[in-house]
Structure 1
Amino acid sequence: MAPHRRGDHRAQSPSPAQSPSRGGRVARLRRTLLAGLVAAAVAVPVAGAARPVDVPAPAPAPTVPLGSATPAELTARYAAAREGLRAAERAADAYGAHRRAASLRRMAGPGRQFLSFDGRDGGRSVEAVGDLARADRIAVLVPGADTGPDSYGRFRAGAVALEGTLRRELGARAAVVAWLGYRTPGTASAASLTPGRADQAAPGLRAFVEELSAAKPRARITLLCHSYGSVVCARAASSLPAAAIVLYGSPGAAVDSVTDLDTPATVWAGRAANDWVADVPHLRLPLLPGSELGFGADPVDRAFGARHFAAGDGGHSDYLAPGSVALDNLARIVDGREPSRA
């Protein structure tokens, strides 16, 4: 989902007596879909041939499972991914996608630790921040809409802030994994209003977490799922080997309750006071066979059944901002501690 400037304020939610009827909410959601379709129709011609998904990249070299995640094994994985990044950078430059090439050049810089990279179809990557070999606390960040190689710096900044908070403030031996394992939808697109991309992404997320758990069987693994990423996590949640799943800035998880996630993990939910996602209607409407519009119940609704944490007064993109209430509480959940409550 798109950034929301810090300090923006949404209108106060109506009381139950003033709440719009179901028919009004349905009409509003349909208007939202129409607006997304119109925006997409305008954006595609403007993007032209240089759309991020169209930038060519070579196929990555095959990788083997993590095994025991020893320092030597991880160093080899990081080196192989760096070569893939550099090859994709050359291909992007040759194509004329210089913004993509510049972003890939930064991603391939010294000290970066990518477990995998595939530049095709918009780009997929998995980056470790911190000492993954020695970590006994691992957070897996799952991003929402409009996250990709061209905007990767913003996503990584959140991972860096979280790892720093875990290490410096809580004294944890922790690593943060920035999992960009799917083609995220654009905010102004019809894809951001349906769970289709999440359905495509979930098997990859599940496979990665299972591989990570097998390589680090004693580590506590937490999924931190932002915005549309919360739909991805919900689709992957069943029997996932994670201690906790955190849904924040969520438009809904495409289920009615925590019970429907079929997970042994503790499920947390939080939303910042000035996050515009609070105004998203919480409905699920059938579209074509096998598809639906909307993401259903609000994870911060008490009836959903998640445990709540305080997320402060930031906006939609402020949850991992350094020094924020949300960042502190997310770090505490990753470390297995109790956060402050909403």
Structure 2
Amino acid sequence: MAVAAAIVGSVTAGAASPVPGTPAPPQLPPIQAQTLGERYAVNRGYIADAERAAHRLGDSYRESHLRQLGSPVRQFLSFDAQGDGQAVEVLGDLATADRIVVLVPGADTTLDTFDHLGSRHASLSGGAHALHDEMRRLSRSSVAVLAWYGYRAPRTMSRDVATTARAEEGGRRLTTLLGELRTANTHAPVAFLCHSYGSVVCGRALGGMSPRTSAGLAGVAVFGSPGTGLRSAAGLPVRVPVWAGRGARDWIARAPHVSWSAFGTTLGFGTDPTSPSFGARPFGAGNSGHSGYLEPGSTALRNLALIGLGRGSVVSGG
């Protein structure tokens, strides 16, 4: 019981706090097709301001990452430089895309790991670029990929990573994003591709959706998942295809699939989404390790790109 209390108490204790001198995010226009360029430009200016602030504060580590994120060729739908930060990068033309994919990351995602997390393809931005390239290789359709760091991702070496608290918040934000995407692009089906703890975020979003709030959602794939917080895909309040895959070298296979509630939060994430009892559609993930699903040339990347394109009939099985 003491352990459970400590875990619950840590849920908010690990949240990043604004660093004095770091500018707050700017006011942005609503997300609409005609305002996307303005949002990208305002965020680009904000990143430059945050980079200068990091320089004044003597934070050369954050300064160097902000310099890279502030490249004039990058498009950020949202950005917050405070603490661990928030960032939603858009690859492709969101307003005119025929398909939209939202890549939802797992633990240890911060502004400082956005472009490199052990390796380039293991990071959120690197994985999103690999996915975007693979989708374009497989289809002539216009595609947009969002690298969505839109929630407070937990750290692997923290108690938060064993609870659903961060996922509750992230799930609500992900549902809000889906509605915003509908205003920016009224015709493109949207797929959520959810890695590791990000699959818990997606599980929370799906579990709280209604037919109205799920409009436009064409499919969900979870990979490297410790569980989604859901008992089964069949029990969802909305009917969308749910896919699950796990690489042969992924250590997450050893994670216990338990779930119990204590002190207002849930510990553990329940049913293994790759198990027959969960009822997801299996997809092949080859020999991927936990951070290797979006590695160029991998079986997992190809199948995830096909799911994002809505070509489930040619996805190879698990």
Both structures adopt the same fold (TM-score exceeding 0.5): yes
TM-score (norm 2): 0.88
Partner AA of 1:210 in structure 2: G
Answer 1 or 2: which has greater helix percent: 1
The residue correspondences of 1:6-45 to structure 2 (distance < 5 A) are none
Partner AA of 1:301 in structure 2: S
For 1:234 and 1:262, locate their aligned partners in 2 and report how far apart those are by CA, in whole Å: 11
- The one of 95, 100, 103 aligned to 1:138: 100
Secondary structure of 2:157's aligned partner = coil
Aligned residue for 2:62? 100
For 2:226 and 2:202, locate their aligned partners in 1 and report how far apart those are by CA, in whole Å: 13
For 2:236 and 2:51, locate their aligned partners in 1 and report how far apart those are by CA, in whole Å: 39
Aligned residue for 2:25? 60
For 2:66 and 2:113, locate their aligned partners in 1 and report how far apart those are by CA, in whole Å: 11
The residue correspondences of 1:1-342 to structure 2 (distance < 5 A) are 53=17, 55-56=19-20, 57-67=22-32, 69-70=33-34, 73-153=35-115, 154-237=123-206, 238-239=209-210, 240-241=214-215, 242-288=217-263, 290-338=264-312, 339-342=315-318
Contact 1:60–1:117 at 8 Å: present in 2 too? Answer: yes
Paired residues, what number?
296
For 1:115 and 1:278, locate their aligned partners in 2 and report how far apart those are by CA, in whole Å: 34
For 1:298 and 1:55, locate their aligned partners in 2 and report how far apart those are by CA, in whole Å: 39
Write the deviation string for residues 200-235 of structure 1: whole angstroms up to 9, x where unpaired: 222211111111023212101000110000111111
Partner AA of 2:267 in structure 1: L
Secondary structure of 1:269's aligned partner = strand
Cα displacement (A) at 1:108: 0.6
Secondary structure of 1:286's aligned partner = strand
Cα displacement (A) at 1:53: 4.8
Partner AA of 1:207 in structure 2: T
After superposition, the CA RMSD in angstroms is 2.1
Contact 2:44–2:72 at 8 Å: present in 1 too? Answer: no
Q: Structure 1: which 4+ aligned runs deviate by more than 3 Å? A: 51-56
Write the deviation string for residues 144-196 of structure 1: whole angstroms up to 9, x where unpaired: 00001000102101111111111123223101001101111000100000001
Cα displacement (A) at 1:293: 1.2
TM-score (norm 1): 0.82
Contact 2:104–2:193 at 8 Å: present in 1 too? Answer: yes
Secondary structure of 1:273's aligned partner = coil
For 1:94 and 1:52, locate their aligned partners in 2 and report how far apart those are by CA, in whole Å: 20
Partner AA of 1:259 in structure 2: A
Cα displacement (A) at 1:54: 5.3
Deviates more, 1:165-174 or 1:105-114: 165-174
For 2:136 and 2:142, locate their aligned partners in 1 and report how far apart those are by CA, in whole Å: 6
Contact 1:59–1:120 at 8 Å: present in 2 too? Answer: yes
Partner AA of 2:241 in structure 1: T
Aligned residue for 2:120? none
CA gap 1:286/1:157 in 2 versus in 1, 3 angstroms = same
Unaligned runs of 5+ in 2: 116-122
Contact 1:270–1:309 at 8 Å: present in 2 too? Answer: yes
Unaligned runs of 5+ in 1: 1-29, 45-50
For 1:124 and 1:231, locate their aligned partners in 2 and report how far apart those are by CA, in whole Å: 18
